[in-house]
């Protein structure tokens, strides 16, 4: 094109000369024919002039190809990023070969791994329960053994609960002396110092027929156990990270990390819906009061995104109910959503009243709230449908991806 530009003057001159020769040579023809040929020459001249104004050089072509390559590379990175965040916790099912159709010994193997994983999740949280009756009785025995034996009792130092020159206890918080003599308080404090949060296996969404599986358990029961477990593994790992990060900071300040000083105080429940479709009918949103599990609505009516299960992906909802340090809510939401296609749909909370008696569950001195968050989860169909039992595929109206399609996703 550079050569074209440089020699444009000579080419135009040549065209004019050719036109003149042609006109002389065909003088015996009609003027109409001459005019037609001149029009063709003029059109060619216009094209050449346009090329000179907008030259397409080798550099321009190379630059354009570079942009195309960059776009393709960025696209590949986006696809990889999306696939990485869509792969399930652990990369696949609990047991290799159990899906799509669980059979025989694989069912029993899945049950064993499922039961063990439920326990492991509680260990990951470093979770525990409020003190039991037995633990309280043990503290009561210790208190009895601390009393002087025989004779007159040793004089006891007065505290702020007694009248006289001691200040009035206006806060209503149990005093140190009262705590020392209270078996429930001592048991509660001792237990709280050994855990990061309160919870138990009943807080989790456990599919009973898979937890107590036998050879005749249906494939869909195992699939429900697996898909709900994937969600819970993600959520609990996120909650554990929030507490572990806070614990690391406290330890740097020589502060012992325990439930009273950590952000996630209690996991009350996690519940997962079935797949959400355009016409799914859901229940009412859960409130934050009480200890009852918060159940997700399971319908588009409570979703501002407008997403539902379709050809490309499956959508479900899940609800998490917690007691947390009020300041930690943004960090908790961010940690749950950052590595997955999870979106918060609704956040509700109520203030948790102080535990002045310091018995049962102790959340510490900072303001805490009882929190419920409804989430929406989206999963690429070509990843998860390879494992779905036939009955589930039929239920959602989809087909198992072909082998070559799976390789592209992987």
Q: For position 35, what pLDDT does the model report?
A: 66
- Model pLDDT for residues 144-159, shown as the tens digit of each residue: 888 776 545 444 444 4
- C-alpha gyration radius of the chain: 37
Q: For position 164, what pLDDT does the model report?
A: 44
Residue 232 has pLDDT above 80, yes or no: yes
Q: For position 161, what pLDDT does the model report?
A: 40
Residue 176: pLDDT band with limits 50, 70, 90: confident
CA distance 33 to 113: 91
Mean pLDDT over 214-229 rounds to 92
Q: For position 146, what pLDDT does the model report?
A: 81
Mean pLDDT over 165-173 rounds to 58
CA distance 190 to 359: 11
- H/E element holding 224? helix 219-252
Residue 410 has pLDDT above 90, yes or no: no
Mean pLDDT over 78-86 rounds to 65
- Which residue matches tokens 């409020």? 130
Range scoring the smallest mean pLDDT among 15-24, 115-124, 298-307:
15-24
Average pLDDT over the chain, rounded to whole? Answer: 83
Calculate the CA 208 to chain-centre distance: 25
Mean pLDDT over 46-50 rounds to 61
Show me where the domains of the chain are located: 2-80, 99-144+170-409
Q: Are strands 127-128 and 197-198 parallel, antiparallel or unpaired?
A: parallel
Q: What percent of the chain clears pLDDT 90, i.e. is strictly above it?
A: 57
Residue 93 has pLDDT above 60, yes or no: yes
Half-sphere exposure of 329 toward its Cβ, with a 13 Å CA cutoff? 18
Q: For position 260, what pLDDT does the model report?
A: 95
Q: What is the DSSP string of 49-85?
A: HHHHHS---HHHHHHHHHHHHHHHHHHHHHHHHHHHH
Residue 222: pLDDT band with limits 50, 70, 90: very high
- Model pLDDT for residues 240-292, shown as the tens digit of each residue: 999 999 999 999 999 999 999 999 999 999 999 999 999 998 888 899 999 99
Higher per-residue confidence, 6 vs 97: 97
Classify residue 134 as exposed, middle or buried by CB count within 10 Å of its CB (0-12, 13-18, 19+). Answer: exposed
Q: For position 276, what pLDDT does the model report?
A: 95
Mean pLDDT over 75-90 rounds to 70
Q: For position 399, what pLDDT does the model report?
A: 94
Residue 84: pLDDT band with limits 50, 70, 90: low
Mean pLDDT over 196-207 rounds to 96
pTM for the model: 0.76
Mean pLDDT over 92-116 rounds to 94
Q: For position 21, what pLDDT does the model report?
A: 40
The alpha carbon dihedral of 331, 333, 335, 341 has a sign of negative
Residue 404 has pLDDT above 60, yes or no: no
Residue 357: pLDDT band with limits 50, 70, 90: confident
């Amino acid at each position: 094109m550079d050569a074209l530009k440089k020699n444009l003057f000579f080419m135009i001159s040549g065209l004019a000369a050719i036109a003149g020769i042609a006109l002389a040579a065909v003088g015996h023809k009609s003027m109409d024919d001459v005019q037609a040929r001149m029009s063709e020459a003029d059109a060619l001249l216009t094209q050449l002039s346009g090329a000179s104004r907008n030259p397409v050089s080798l550099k321009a072509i190379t630059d354009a190809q570079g942009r195309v390559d960059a776009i393709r590379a960025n696209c590949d990175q986006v696809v990889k990023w999306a696939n990485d965040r869509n792969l399930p916790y652990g990369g696949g099912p609990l047991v290799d070969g159990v899906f799509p159709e669980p059979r025989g010994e694989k069912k029993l193997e899945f049950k064993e791994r499922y039961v063990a994983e439920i326990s492991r999740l509680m260990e990951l949280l470093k979770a525990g329960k409020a003190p039991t009756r037995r633990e309280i009785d043990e503290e009561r025995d210790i208190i009895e053994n601390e009393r002087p034996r025989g004779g007159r009792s040793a004089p006891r130092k007065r505290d702020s609960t007694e009248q006289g020159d001691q200040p009035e206890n206006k806060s209503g918080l149990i005093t140190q002396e009262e705590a020392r003599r209270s078996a429930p308080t001592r048991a509660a404090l001792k237990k709280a110092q050994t855990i990061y949060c309160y919870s138990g296996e009943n807080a989790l969404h456990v599919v009973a027929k898979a937890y107590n599986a036998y050879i005749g358990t249906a494939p869909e029961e195992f699939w429900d156990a697996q898909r709900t477990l994937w969600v819970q593994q993600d959520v609990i790992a996120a909650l554990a990270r929030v507490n572990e990060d806070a614990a690391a900071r406290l330890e740097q300040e020589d502060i012992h990390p325990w439930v009273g000083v950590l952000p996630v105080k209690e996991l009350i429940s996690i519940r997962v819906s079935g797949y959400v479709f355009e016409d799914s009918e859901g229940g009412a949103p859960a409130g934050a009061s009480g200890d009852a599990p918060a159940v997700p609505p399971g319908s588009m009516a409570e979703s501002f995104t407008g997403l539902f299960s379709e050809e490309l992906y499956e959508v479900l909802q899940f609800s998490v109910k917690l007691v947390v340090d009020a300041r930690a809510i943004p960090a908790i939401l961010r940690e749950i959503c950052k590595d997955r296609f999870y979106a918060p749909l609704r956040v509700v909370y109520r203030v948790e009243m102080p535990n002045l008696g310091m018995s049962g569950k102790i959340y510490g001195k900072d303001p805490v709230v009882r929190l419920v968050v409804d989430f929406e989860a989206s999963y690429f169909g070509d990843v998860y449908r390879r494992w779905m039992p036939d009955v589930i595929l039929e239920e959602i109206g989809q087909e198992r991806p072909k082998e070559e399609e799976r390789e592209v996703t992987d």
